[in-house]
Structure 1
Amino acid sequence: MSSDPWGRVDETGTVYVRTADGEQVVGSWQAGSPDEALAYFERKYEGLVVEIGLLEKRVKTTDLSAKDAQTAIDHIRSQVDAHHAVGDLAALKVRLDKLVETVDARREERKVQRAKQSDEARHSKEALVVEAEELAQSDQWRAAGERLRSLVDTWKGLPRLDRKSDDELWHRFSHARSAFSKRRKAHFASLDAQREDARKTKEKLVAEAESLSASSDWGPTAARYRELMADWKAAGRAQREHEDDLWNRFRGAQDVFFAARGSVFAERDAEQSENLKLKEELAEEAEKLVPVQELKAARAAFRSINERWEAIGHVPRDARPKVEGRMHAVERALQESEEAEWRRTNPEARARAEGLTGQLQAAVDKLQGQIETARSAGNTSKADKLQRELDGRQALLEQALKGLQEFGG
């Protein structure tokens, strides 16, 4: 018979292990000596020790799930409980119990962690839903569309919640994306319709612009082109593939017209500049008639100058007032000379002037006599009053005499 502190082998080859509950049969050994039997079952014990040590390390240092850890513990415990090894089986049970406590603690930690992650994921997904619902009302189609796609990627990277909560939030999130897509689709459909209307309108504008390009009715046609340009701007943009081509045709038609008009106007401006030189020479010739010396000759000379003036034609618009003003000044001087000559030679006017002068002279003579009488009588007050009246009459008489001199008398 052979034994050690934890087991023994009896004379029949039966191997026992000592436990707190007494000896337990480990197995039967018939193939060799009792010492070999104990050594065999002691090695099985050492194997259990190693296996428990490895499991303890895995639980502490890896992400071994609580379920897998418990399965491994149960497997080892079944071997310990079956007493298939010789050694301190109670110590192994203690280590297995502590390992169960560690696994349970890890399970609770992971449960708390999962709850925290789930709560964070819920808040994150709710925030994504809120932002998506706000973006669903946006008119910033490109930026909002890109942001919604980014939100989908963010959503996919978040943990799933419980099925009901996750489905409800996803429904709201998906509905917001669908609402935005529907609004964007409707917007661009409307925009396409507007651009098609703009294309049709601009086709008509281009056709009219091209039909006017050969016109030589410069003023009305230029005005019509301005109206067409205003209509073009009001029509809005056509589709991109049509807009540039339509604009090039529209602008090209205008360029043809305005180039032709510019050429004609350039010739006209050159002609009018030459006309201006000629009229300035005539204005200088007319100005030599002033002051008027011989009215009849001056009038004949002015008529000759004016006839040549009318035959010349137009001058540049901005120069017209000045050069015409010079001719008008000469014409006014001739008119004033005519009026002065008429007044000088009018018999009726001369007679009226002579009559007025005679009346004023008589009044002056009378007043002078009355003043002398009043002063002789010592009536100074009356004499002073008559003197003031005499002063007024004499002033009138001087004016009348000047007027009479205009008649040559």
Structure 2
Amino acid sequence: MISDPLTLLAVMMIILFVFLLSGLWIGFSLFATGVATMLLYDFTLPPTISIWSKIGGLIANSSWNSLDSWSLVALPLFVFMGEILYHTDISNKLFNGLLPWFSKIPGRLLHLNVVACSMFAAVSGSSAATTATVGKITLNELKKRGYSKSLSVGSLAGAGTLGFLIPPSLIMIIYGVMSNVSIGKLFIAGIIPGLMLGGLYSFYIMIASLIKPNVVPKEQEQFGLKDRLVALKDIMPVFLLIVLVLGSIYMGFATPTEAAALGVVGALLLALMFRNLTWDNFKLSVKNSIKTTVMISFIMMGAAFLSQVAGFSGITRSLSLYVAQSHLSPYMLLLIVGFMYLLLGAILDGVSMVVMTTPIILPIMQRAGFEALWFGIFLVIMVELAQITPPVGFSLFVIEGISGEKVSDIIKYSFPFFLIMIFVVAILAIFPQIVYFLPSHMIR
């Protein structure tokens, strides 16, 4: 039996890593780690209460509390919206509409990954859906036209993660529920960092294409003003859906949950307009939405249980006290926490990172002077980094499946965009007003 909370924390992390590396489902791993931790801890319980009844009570309580939130209704709705768009002709329409607008910019069509991912992220909320949908179209098109493979794949890996930062974001919804931060404020706070990240991606592509002109083909397609105006008909439906979803939130007409429902209706109307909504597509969208929602919910339940175990055994209090007594400067603490998330990103998916660490890390960061809203944006970017961090970078496997490239090559191609994300985190730490600007001016 272990009585020291910090020793118990080390043992708990070892047990969790063993379960995760064994291939066990993440939800089961979290529950199993919590049970093992309680069995190892030296509890003092009344004779009439057994350890197993205590474990059962904690599981029931934490599971109910983790999902008993009206805000979480937005989660399956946004997932469903993304699935509907994924199985319609939206990607082809978006590509054809954006194509004429980039013929004169250095890097030309290489910017399509960044712009298409940004636009699709604003209507799907899912990094995986964004990467897969955009990548299936752009990678083949760019390859056929003779564009650099490294920049094509790398920009997709980096820009595909924007699905977490540009609202609506599933990660933001989960964090908002767990941290009691307004989801609407989180959505608004993510706009400028998301646009900044996408802009830096495009800036890097322009610089790379100027330094190495061979990354783009010598032949240049010619598009006139008429071609650009005609292409707007393919862009406008997506733009209108973005306005419908985000505008209803920012203007105060709808809550994020209501906006998600509007997004589903809008996605269905788009699918009908594109004449690609079949009964099979609809059933597949529903099925995948249920699977994704259940998976995320199970992970949240397991993480909530593990968090309660950490609190019940004194781990959270001891860790907070240890960090407080170490007298770390706020930025040194941020550096250590950022490095911790990089390590976690190598073995965990984004949802698990958020639900496992938020209850423990957020109070420590708030004590150091970081507000929950700012930390939410920081955490989302760290989750984005996790998407392209080996060996469990989910976007790496998505791109491998749609491109046929080796994961080792994809990691190499995406490394410059990985560094850009770290640079943005540093900028937000130095100038936190970037995060607060829109929420302070748009929400009173």
Pairwise same-fold verdict (TM > 0.5): no
Task: Tell me the TM-score normalised to structure 1 length.
Answer: 0.22
Choose between structure 1 and 2: higher strand proportion.
1
Q: Which has the larger radius of gyration?
A: 1
